Structure 1
Amino acid sequence: MKYKFGAFLLATLGTGYAYSKYQAHKEHQSQSSWLISDAIKVLKPFPPIKSVADYQKLYQASEQPYALPKNIQLQFGFKARPDNADVIELNEFNEDNERIIFYVHGGAYWMQPIYFHYAMLHHLAKELNARIVMPIYPKAPAHHAPEVHDMILDSYKQLLAEEGVKPENITFMGDSAGGGFQLAFMQKLRDLDADLLPRRAILLSPWLDVTMTNPAIDAIQPLDPMLNTGQLRFQGEKYAGPLAPSDPLVSPIYGDSSNLPPIDVFTGTHDILFADAKRFKSLALEHDWDVNTHIYPKMLHVFSSLPIIPEAKESLAEIIDIIADAD
């Protein structure tokens, strides 16, 4: 799903400046973050699935190969790997493989990466002198969790097979579905071969439980301008395919996160997935897992990918410090 910047700006600017300033002050958040939340209510970036026709359209889209947009190539320098067109890279800032971000993008496992993914990753690459590697995994509903795990494992092993690439130089990152996947993937890697694990992981608004059964979600739903509990539950079931939605490969909150690298979770309180981020934090404290949770009041889903808001800039600065300090 691509954001249309003209529509985005029109919707944002359509809200009265004085009113938005008042509301933002009242809610104790930045004016720009309040405006974006209000605009998202109008734009509805995740199309509703209300009919068989809606589903069939999305099914057909999930069968199509991904083509890296020309504007992304020109503006940010991302390229498909010459030996694997399903892996997108940015290698402009670091060619010695001393700092790599292995990124799995979000979109409920149904959608391709959007402009804001690339803009955020370009910023991180530039600030950290890092190489970005992002597998474009097969999408639901035509494809399911086992296929996604197989593809990303192959992509990761391909990366490790390159000269000079070591797991201790790699940070796993992911947003939303991609964040949930990275936790499930690390649990799987630990069981396959702990030597494959990366240096650390950073999860942005991770989707940790596709069953969406946490009762705390209900109180957050009216505050979330972006996500819908029922639709996510449906999309999660389709992504799971032959697996149960509660299988740790699909919903890693039900898995064992012991003996994993340090994990930093970034989450906002106006995101329905915040409920499970809090639950994961409690589990980490109970089991002594190495998890640090960064909670941003009033922030919406994957707010870190919206660098025009101060809270996003603050979170990205934190992320940059975390990765840099790990060296």
Structure 2
Amino acid sequence: MIKRNSKLFLAGTILGMAAYQKYQALAENRSLMSRITEKSLSLVDFVPVIKSSQDYQSALKRSKTPYEIPVTAKMVSHFHYFEGQRNVLAYNPPVNSYQGKYIFYIHGGAYWGQPFPQHFDMLKKIADKSGAKVIMPIYPKAPAYHVDDVFSMILDTYNHLLNDDGIDPKKMIFMGDSAGGRLILGFMQYLRDNQVPLPQQAILISPWLDISNSNPDMKVIDPLDPILGLKNLTYLGREYAGDLDVHDPLVSPIYGDSSSLPPITVFTGTHDILNPDARKFYHKALAREWDVTIYNYSKMNHVFPLFPIPEARDAIEKMVDIIGKQ
């Protein structure tokens, strides 16, 4: 009888917890899955956390180690090395859905981390739905490398696509999340200033637009963000910048000129410490009449479109629609 009562108590506790989470999700006007996912994200380090010299040395060793495409990315998501280049990955949508477009994707990870499994899953979904091929450079990582090394690699890859593969830039969509979103915006500013052909448009997911992290509103959101921590993120950004000032547009493009760029769409969530700068960039664009659109998702965390939640599916459908209309 005692054992049976214990089981009933445990079952009741679990049901009660589930009911509570569902009630909280409804009260917050979000999906239950997004709330559960957010609560679990703090258990995983999506960006390196540097708290000691040992942490730094481990990260330094990783940044010097040649990248190997994960088995799951090859076998499940069907990514491959682009033209044999081990620092550029690609994904081809089904032949019958290919629309002649290319997604040039720069992944996030605070400039220190490699792509996550969720990157491959999200990109496969977008490519299959939009009929666009994906090309993703695996740029050199901090702390062994800095912004100049990264820009040089991204530029070489882009020039190769235009000049050697003959890809029309007007059939190319730039996309990036977090640090990759920052790279995309800064890279487009660089291309415009150096008279290099620009892509058709850009989509930025939870972009890190200011590595100084000086926006005071970030401190308010910091306790709500399960992925990024303000102190650690600021350290990672300073290391990536090398000798550059953290306010230099090359590393913090929010301080740069984004006029005469292709249309830019930003996806962001209010439980992301980078959200205040995404909104700041949007309002700056409004004042200067830059072509920028923003989708601001309530209660969503950093890079939420990467996760298996209804809000991510909504964002992905919007991205596919944007790509298809151009």
- Distance in 2 between residues matched to 1:19 and 1:244, nearest whole Å: 47
2:72 paired with 1:101: no
Percent identity reads: 46
- Distance in 2 between residues matched to 1:313 and 1:266, nearest whole Å: 13
Segments of structure 1 that go 5 or more residues without pairing to the other structure are 1-12
- Distance in 1 between residues matched to 2:261 and 2:310, nearest whole Å: 31
Q: 1:191-217, CA deviations, whole angstroms, 9 ceiling, x for partnerless residues?
A: 1115x1000000000000000001111
For residue 16 of structure 1, report the CA deviation from its aligned partner.
3.0
2:252 paired with 1:259: no
For residue 97 of structure 1, report the CA deviation from its aligned partner.
7.6
**Equivalent residue runs for 1:122-201 within 5 Å:** 122-194=124-196, 196-201=197-202
For residue 43 of structure 1, report the CA deviation from its aligned partner.
3.2
Letter in 1 for 2:314: E
TM-score, structure 2 as length reference: 0.92
TM-score, structure 1 as length reference: 0.92
For residue 41 of structure 1, report the CA deviation from its aligned partner.
2.4
**Equivalent residue runs for 1:202-213 within 5 Å:** 202-213=203-214
For residue 261 of structure 1, report the CA deviation from its aligned partner.
0.1
Letter in 1 for 2:315: S
For residue 94 of structure 1, report the CA deviation from its aligned partner.
5.5
- Distance in 2 between residues matched to 1:14 and 1:257, nearest whole Å: 51
Letter in 2 for 1:159: L
Residue matched to 2:8: none
- Distance in 2 between residues matched to 1:111 and 1:143, nearest whole Å: 12
Residue matched to 1:37: 38
| Total equivalences in the alignment | 312
Q: 1:91-116, CA deviations, whole angstroms, 9 ceiling, x for partnerless residues?
A: 24369782000000000000000100
What secondary structure sits across from 1:318 in the alignment? helix
Letter in 1 for 2:245: A
Letter in 1 for 2:187: F
Residue matched to 2:9: none
Letter in 1 for 2:280: R
- Aligned-residue Cα RMSD (Å) equals 1.7
Question: In 2, are the aligned partners of 1:90 and 1:132 still within 8 Å (CA)?
Answer: yes
What secondary structure sits across from 2:56 in the alignment? helix
- Rg: which structure is higher? 2
Letter in 1 for 2:213: M
Residue matched to 1:5: none
Segments of structure 2 that go 5 or more residues without pairing to the other structure are 1-13
**Equivalent residue runs for 1:57-96 within 5 Å:** 57-93=58-94
What secondary structure sits across from 1:45 in the alignment? coil
What secondary structure sits across from 1:121 in the alignment? helix
For residue 286 of structure 1, report the CA deviation from its aligned partner.
1.2
Letter in 1 for 2:313: K
For residue 166 of structure 1, report the CA deviation from its aligned partner.
0.2
